[in-house]
Chains A and B, each alone.
Chain A
Amino acid sequence: MSSKSDSSFLQFKNVKKSYDQKTLVVKDFNLDVKKGEFVTLLGPSGSGKTTVLMMLAGFESITSGDITIQGESIKRTAPYRRNIGMVFQSYALFPHLTVSENLGYPLSVRKLDKSDIKAKVGNYLKLIELEAFGDRYPGQLSGGQRQRVALARALIYEPRLVLMDEPLGALDKKLREQMQFEISHLHHRLGFTVIYVTHDQTEALTMSSRIAVFNNGVVQQCAPPDDLYERPSNAFVAGFIGENNFISGNVSAHKKKTVSVAVPGGRKIVAQNADVGSGEKNCIISIRPEKIFIQPTAHAYDNEITAKFVARYYVGDFIRYNFRLADRTEITVKVLNDLAAPEFSEDEDAKLVWLTKDCFAFRKERQ
């Protein structure tokens, strides 16, 4: 077992969950987490992320499957014996205890000496830069300060695993970005293992070592942020992470790793095959707005389509163009705001080009 412990510190094996004995909220969840990793569960609201976290923390039963930590099943371990730290979206700081007492609570539960507790609480207060706030009550702190206390409280007893359920959801944008940085910083410094839940993709992309994209209780793809962005494995991930253009088309030829697709207003397009089966006739092609170029361009390209100009928006550091294909599919293109950004008049034809390595063909969702 110890030989395996490094490669998979935490393991979900075919975990399923049903609340009503009829429908599955989590369907066959599998995930291996290494020690020290920062893994994010990313998915729309209601996709079952919290449920997974609650099963891991022991507050919800596992309908079938198993969760192991260091090779041992924790299915029958009581929540208070799991040694898992948790940060809640509501922070769950005890309102009738001071900041110091909140931080000291997990230590006093572990029957540490009073002096040890005091020293450790002092250290962590320093770590979160709230030394002067030890005697305040949570109600007397700002949102960001509460968040830091909640974080420190989940770390102070050095649990083997830290879970965070949308911990920054209640903060405004600026504070959220600052806290993202602080959490990443603490993670690098202390090296704990994190399972982080969010529905905010920017947050997931900036903080995580790996992201598991969740939808309908199934992991759609689990990969490092750049992989997820550059090589999405299905249409949901391509649409959920970042901005994307989707064009429907008909598959005309399958090659080894690519497919040729006929699209409206263009010739054949060659795209990398993500998950189109060999027998399938319909597919969707995705290209990111910043990977498309407008002719004339110095960039190399493999594919070309013609589209009608709709609008041009000045955003600041870049300029955003909207085009329309013959079947009224909208195409967005982002161009850096330099001298090369062209001007069009309404309904003027434009030629849009891109590389095969930047576009992917996906199976059409059967809904």
Chain B
Amino acid sequence: MAQKPIILSAEETVSARRELFRRKFMAFAFVSPLLLFLLFAFVAPISTMLYRSFYNPTVAVLIPQTIAAMKTWEGKSVPGTDVTAVFAAELKQLAKKRLSGQLAEALNRVRPGLSSIVKSTARKMRRAEDADLKEKGTELLMEANGVWAEKSTWRAVARAGKVYTVDNFLTALDLETNESGSIQRREATQIYVALYTKTLRIALIITVLSLLLGYPLAYYLANAPSKLANALMLMVLLPFWTSLLVRTTSWIALLQTNGVVNSTLIWSGLIDTPLELLYTQFSTVIAMTHILLPFMILPLYSVMKGIDPSYMRAALSMGSKPVPAFIRIYLPMSLPGLSAGALLVFIISVGYYITPALVGGTDGQMISNIIAFHMQQSNNWELAAALGTLLLILIVALYWTYDRLVGAGNIKLG
């Protein structure tokens, strides 16, 4: 028997709608502080970073007229005097305002070696009269340095003048555009791809190490009497309560040439000369494994805690030996914790900065350290942003792969 649908009266519909709206509004009101916070602290900076990696206004702002004049230049030969004279005049203005250094730096990024030439040319232009510059600016420029008579120089200027560019990404991937405009491997130094690879390798080693150390401990904790388990858990959590800096520096104390480890080894007669332990990849891996271990243990523990011991008992009673039973029954059941822990440790270590900076030396540097370098020392924020964006893409890609292979629904943090 088909039931007649119950129809609400108009009044009831209105009040039901109002009730629904009220509930939605309340829910929104509860999460809105967090949403606002996320917007300011997360969405905005990341969008800025993404934008920064494409947006490159420096040169266009410094020499706007030159860049405008170059719009029609086709790049087949050295540009005409309409460009070069304007450039000479703008150089003089920059030199007066002490901004030629900025231009030199920006052009140098596109074509290494241009820095000193730009600076010296700017000094010469400063000495020239405005009228002279107007009449024979081109000649003055050519006299100042022969580089200005090469069309490749002007190509570099044109490239640097583009407000939106993928150059930073090419640099971050160790690529460049050649004369004919196609993309090739950079002929000069190749550093970033190797650094990414190294970062991933170090992160992988740290993940595997913390898994090997954390899994048995988490298993023990999950099955120990609660009193003992709580005491041991406290020790696992202890690192969270001490400053990261303290923990990292204590590794310096342990690993340095005259540190605890070396002294002990020498004292015990195992070695004669101290080992180089600090400022290596080894020290980065050891210190970071120590710091990230709780991130592996906690999700594992909480998942294992929920696995009833009767599963293993059932497997054993059915005649399965302990090791096969573990592999076939326990391991798959602990997989959600395992993948959550591994993913957490891997992603955190890929982007880790402070520990490699302090104990890594040159050998133990990771991609974050080079990003920091470009932000703080070389002042190349655009490249830093591109490197950061690539790192973000890398992590998202890894997560996506993981989701395809294992399923993100399998992650369980507690």
Do the beta carbons of A57 and B317 come within 8 Å of each other? yes
Q: In angstroms, how far is the closest chain B Cβ from the Cβ of A76?
A: 16
Would you list which residues of chain B between 4 and 46 have a CB under 8 Å from chain A?
A: none
- B320 close to A (CB within 8 Å): yes
> Which of A58, A95, A157 sits near B318, CB closer than 8 Å?
A157
Do the beta carbons of A79 and B329 come within 8 Å of each other? no
Do the beta carbons of A86 and B314 come within 8 Å of each other? yes
- A249 close to B (CB within 8 Å): no
Q: Which residues of A contact B310 (CB under 8 A)?
A: 88, 90, 92
Would you list which residues of chain A between 156 and 189 have a CB under 8 Å from chain B?
A: 157
Q: Which residues of B contact A49 (CB under 8 A)?
A: none
Give the CA-CA distance A84 to B317 in the complex, in Å: 6
Give the CA-CA distance A59 to B313 in the complex, in Å: 7
Binding site for B on A (CB under 8 A): 57-59, 79-86, 88, 90, 92, 94-96, 105-106, 109-110, 153-154, 157
21 residue pairs A–B, Cβ–Cβ below 8 Å: A57-B313, A58-B316, A59-B313, A79-B317, A80-B316, A83-B319, A85-B317, A85-B318, A88-B313, A90-B308, A92-B308, A92-B313, A94-B311, A94-B329, A96-B332, A96-B333, A105-B318, A106-B319, A109-B324, A153-B318, A154-B317
Q: In angstroms, how far is the closest chain B Cβ from the Cβ of A180?
A: 22
Give the CA-CA distance A80 to B326 in the complex, in Å: 13
Do the beta carbons of B320 and A95 come within 8 Å of each other? no
Q: In angstroms, how far is the closest chain A Cβ from the Cβ of B325?
A: 8
Q: Which residues of A contact B332 (CB under 8 A)?
A: 96
Q: Which residues of A contact B328 (CB under 8 A)?
A: 105
Do the beta carbons of B322 and A80 come within 8 Å of each other? yes
Q: Which residues of A contact B320 (CB under 8 A)?
A: 80, 105-106, 109
Do the beta carbons of B319 and A86 come within 8 Å of each other? no
Q: In angstroms, how far is the closest chain A Cβ from the Cβ of B78?
A: 71
> Which of B311, B319, B322, B324 sits near A92, CB closer than 8 Å?
B311
Q: In angstroms, how far is the closest chain B Cβ from the Cβ of A121?
A: 14
> Which of A59, A88, A96, A109 sits near B319, CB closer than 8 Å?
A109
Q: Which residues of B contact A94 (CB under 8 A)?
A: 311, 314-315, 329, 333
Do the beta carbons of B333 and A88 come within 8 Å of each other? no
Give the CA-CA distance A105 to B314 in the complex, in Å: 11
Q: Which residues of B contact A105 (CB under 8 A)?
A: 315, 318, 320, 328
Interface bits B320-363 vs A (CB < 8 Å: 1, else 0)? 11101100110011000000000000000000000000000000
Do the beta carbons of A80 and B321 come within 8 Å of each other? yes
Would you list which residues of chain B between 291 and 326 have a CB under 8 Å from chain A?
A: 308, 310-311, 313-322, 324-325
Give the residue name and chain of the B residue nearest to A150 (CB).
Answer: B314
Give the CA-CA distance A71 to B328 in the complex, in Å: 34
Q: Which residues of B contact A153 (CB under 8 A)?
A: 314, 318
Q: Which residues of B contact A85 (CB under 8 A)?
A: 317-318
Ranked 6 nearest A-B pairs via Cβ: A106-B318, A92-B314, A92-B310, A86-B317, A88-B310, A79-B316
Give the CA-CA distance A92 to B321 in the complex, in Å: 17
Give the residue name and chain of the B residue nearest to A89 (CB).
Answer: B310
Q: Which residues of A contact B315 (CB under 8 A)?
A: 94, 105
Q: In angstroms, how far is the closest chain A Cβ from the Cβ of B322?
A: 7
Q: Which residues of A contact B316 (CB under 8 A)?
A: 58-59, 79-80
> Which of B319, B322, B333 sits near A157, CB closer than 8 Å?
B319
Q: In angstroms, how far is the closest chain A Cβ from the Cβ of B185?
A: 47
Additional A-B contacts beyond A86-B317, A90-B310, A105-B320 (5; CB < 8 A): A79-B316, A86-B314, A90-B308, A92-B313, A95-B333
Do the beta carbons of B319 and A110 come within 8 Å of each other? yes
Interface bits B120-131 vs A (CB < 8 Å: 1, else 0)? 000000000000
Give the CA-CA distance A130 to B314 in the complex, in Å: 21
Give the residue name and chain of the B residue nearest to A105 (CB).
Answer: B318
Q: Which residues of A contact B308 (CB under 8 A)?
A: 90, 92
Do the beta carbons of B324 and A79 come within 8 Å of each other? no
Q: Which residues of A contact B324 (CB under 8 A)?
A: 109
Give the residue name and chain of the B residue nearest to A54 (CB).
Answer: B313
> Which of B311, B317, B329 sits near A80, CB closer than 8 Å?
B317
Q: Which residues of A contact B318 (CB under 8 A)?
A: 80, 85, 105-106, 109, 153, 157
Give the CA-CA distance A85 to B321 in the complex, in Å: 15
Give the CA-CA distance A153 to B311 in the complex, in Å: 13
Q: Which residues of A contact B317 (CB under 8 A)?
A: 57, 79-80, 82, 84-86, 154
Give the residue name and chain of the B residue nearest to A88 (CB).
Answer: B310
Give the CA-CA distance A58 to B332 in the complex, in Å: 24
Q: In angstroms, how far is the closest chain A Cβ from the Cβ of B49?
A: 41
Give the CA-CA distance A86 to B316 in the complex, in Å: 10
Give the CA-CA distance A81 to B321 in the complex, in Å: 9
Q: Which residues of A contact B333 (CB under 8 A)?
A: 94-96
Give the CA-CA distance A102 to B96 in the complex, in Å: 84
Give the CA-CA distance A105 to B311 in the complex, in Å: 12
Q: In angstroms, how far is the closest chain B Cβ from the Cβ of A16?
A: 22
